[in-house]
Structure 1
Amino acid sequence: MNNTLVKGLQLLELLSARDGAAGISELADALQLGRSNVHRLLQALVELGYVTQEGERGSYRASLKIWELGARALRRLDFREAAAPAMRQLLAQSNETVHLSVLSGDEVIYIDKLDSPEPVRAYSVIGGRAPAYCVATGKVLLAWREAPASSLLAVRPLHAHTPSTAPDTAALALELERVRRQGFAINRGEWRASVWGIASPLRSANGRAIAALGISGPAERIRKKGVRQLARLVVDAAALASATLARHGDVDH
């Protein structure tokens, strides 16, 4: 693997995750690289238009070119359009925030969302990430990925984000088998203790889970409305989105 390319991408990811600009020393410390090395990488990224410099010897920040690349990639995800009516239906029925997610390694990325009209609601952003094993949409996608759940049976600790997080991969594998049997996943405060979620897969014509559709909201409100009742709404919405995708030609990603 090209080491310079890897370092450049790590630098770009670091800048993209920041709210403000950063100086060379700060970036070098974060990446554990030499200042001269970071300076050369920054200059290359500036020339390519991915980074802008504030002042002649000032700080650096990621440019909008990254957003433009992401926007183009999102436009190619045709199932976002197919899922839109189902997402609106699910929002109207549940009154909770609706998410559409895809799997990226061991994380999920939120590629679309509709916010709950409630004053207290689950916080998320389009483009945001979460550990797949901790959230409902992630567990759905792990359960239906090509590698079987049994491949996770080697016991190793998982990072405990809350007391409810799965303790190890063996426990997670059992949970994923249950998800496959029932057709939906539940997050009982495993990523954020006060937030619960429910999700079901959006399937391509060949049955592959290409995305996950789900809701999330304050734990107390989800429990009060009833997990099983909400799960039926989520499963129905995911089935509607899958059927709509099939009618649109089912672009399999």
Structure 2
Amino acid sequence: MDTTLQKGLMILEALAKTAEPRSVEDLALQTELNESNVQSALEAFEFAGYLAREPATGRYELSLKLWGLGVGLLSRLDLKRAAQRHLSELALRTRETVHLSVLTGADVIYVDKIDSPELLHASSQIGGKAPAHAVAIGKAILAFQPAHIIEGIGRNLAVFTPKTVNSLEALQHELSTIRLQGYAVNLGEWRGAVYGLAAPIRRADGVVEAAVGISGPSTRLTPEMIALVAEQVVEAADGISRGLGYRGGQG
């Protein structure tokens, strides 16, 4: 293998192992490469759009463009296969748009979806993204992440509507509620007229990296309707988790 390419892949793998931006010095230490080689590789990846650099600190992190390359692969992985039947059943039962998503950085990526048959419905696209703190499917995942990840996201919360959570303290309080009740809701926090409901999906080892949820217009997916269908969404998430090999209780 070309040594330059090999070094670049080592750096990408090092960045993929953490949700926090990394400095040139940190990456050089972890990969055992000299700093000039690391700096050159980082600049090349940034120029190509595969990395993003924090202006204030000069640290680097993976970009959504890199995640986008994996969307085709994700469609063939265990998560989507395990979810297919449950997504279809949830779509039939609720008649709302159903999403399957994973967390990347401060956003969620839509891995799969089934559109609502209703004329008025929530729209999205596979491979699209949404701010994790402002949508139910993102909060359902965030609630089960380590404290340092939640704190990192909570320090820079973009506000999209008057209902968007706008402080770390408010986010932490809501995530605590989600952990207790087992599902998350979004009452117009990203797009004012769209409400949502989602539940976490666990891997075989119990780690939460994905969620399943429904989204719909606020005129139809009212708080009362959310309370009625919450159990169905949780059942779908639990079924997908079992398909991935998870055998524990709700955590």
How does the TM-score come out when normalised to structure 2? Answer: 0.70
Mark the CA change 1:244 to 1:164 in structure 2 (over 3 Å): closer, same or farther.
same
* Local SS of the residue matching 2:215: strand
Aligned mates of 1:88, 1:165 — CA distance in 2: 30
Aligned mates of 2:153, 2:138 — CA distance in 1: 20
For residue 234 of structure 1, what is the aligned residue in structure 2?
Answer: 233
> How far apart are 1:124 and its partner, in Å?
0.7
For residue 182 of structure 1, what is the aligned residue in structure 2?
Answer: 181
For residue 4 of structure 2, what is the aligned residue in structure 1?
Answer: none
CA contact (8 A) 1:149 1:177 kept: no
Aligned mates of 1:154, 1:114 — CA distance in 2: 28
Mark the CA change 1:149 to 1:94 in structure 2 (over 3 Å): closer, same or farther.
farther
> How far apart are 1:152 and its partner, in Å?
3.1
Map 1:11-160 → 2, pairs under 5 A? 11-13=47-49, 69-75=69-75, 77-145=77-145, 147-148=146-147, 152=151, 156=155, 158-160=157-159
Aligned mates of 2:184, 2:230 — CA distance in 1: 8
Q: Which runs of 5+ in 2 are unaligned?
A: 1-23, 25-37, 51-64
Greater Cα offset, 99-108 or 202-211: 202-211
CA contact (8 A) 1:153 1:170 kept: no
> How far apart are 1:11 and its partner, in Å?
4.4
User: What letter corresponds to residue 93 of structure 1 in structure 2?
Assistant: R
Aligned mates of 1:232, 1:191 — CA distance in 2: 23
CA contact (8 A) 1:143 1:149 kept: no
Task: Name the larger-Rg structure.
Answer: 1
* Local SS of the residue matching 1:165: coil
* Local SS of the residue matching 2:219: helix
Aligned mates of 1:218, 1:119 — CA distance in 2: 11
Q: Deviations over 1:8-27 (max 9, x none)?
A: 4444449xxxxxxxxxxxxx
Q: Percent identity?
A: 41
How does the TM-score come out when normalised to structure 1? Answer: 0.69
User: What letter corresponds to residue 208 of structure 2 in structure 1?
Assistant: A
* Local SS of the residue matching 1:190: coil
CA contact (8 A) 1:153 1:169 kept: no
* Local SS of the residue matching 2:173: helix
> How far apart are 1:204 and its partner, in Å?
1.8
Mark the CA change 1:13 to 1:184 in structure 2 (over 3 Å): closer, same or farther.
same
Mark the CA change 1:156 to 1:72 in structure 2 (over 3 Å): closer, same or farther.
closer
Mark the CA change 1:82 to 1:155 in structure 2 (over 3 Å): closer, same or farther.
closer
CA contact (8 A) 1:135 1:187 kept: yes
Count matched residues. Answer: 198
Aligned mates of 2:212, 2:153 — CA distance in 1: 29
For residue 21 of structure 1, what is the aligned residue in structure 2?
Answer: none
Mark the CA change 1:121 to 1:149 in structure 2 (over 3 Å): closer, same or farther.
farther
User: What letter corresponds to residue 114 of structure 1 in structure 2?
Assistant: I
Aligned mates of 1:246, 1:78 — CA distance in 2: 10
Q: Deviations over 1:140-169 (max 9, x none)?
A: 111011x13896399856221100001201
CA contact (8 A) 2:71 2:127 kept: no
Q: Which runs of 5+ in 1 are unaligned?
A: 15-61
User: What letter corresponds to residue 131 of structure 2 in structure 1?
Assistant: P
For residue 221 of structure 1, what is the aligned residue in structure 2?
Answer: 220
For residue 168 of structure 1, what is the aligned residue in structure 2?
Answer: 167
* Local SS of the residue matching 2:84: helix
Mark the CA change 1:86 to 1:152 in structure 2 (over 3 Å): closer, same or farther.
same
Aligned mates of 2:198, 2:223 — CA distance in 1: 18
User: What letter corresponds to residue 235 of structure 2 in structure 1?
Assistant: D
CA contact (8 A) 1:100 1:111 kept: yes
CA contact (8 A) 2:154 2:171 kept: no
* Local SS of the residue matching 1:172: helix
* Local SS of the residue matching 2:162: coil
Aligned mates of 2:234, 2:150 — CA distance in 1: 26
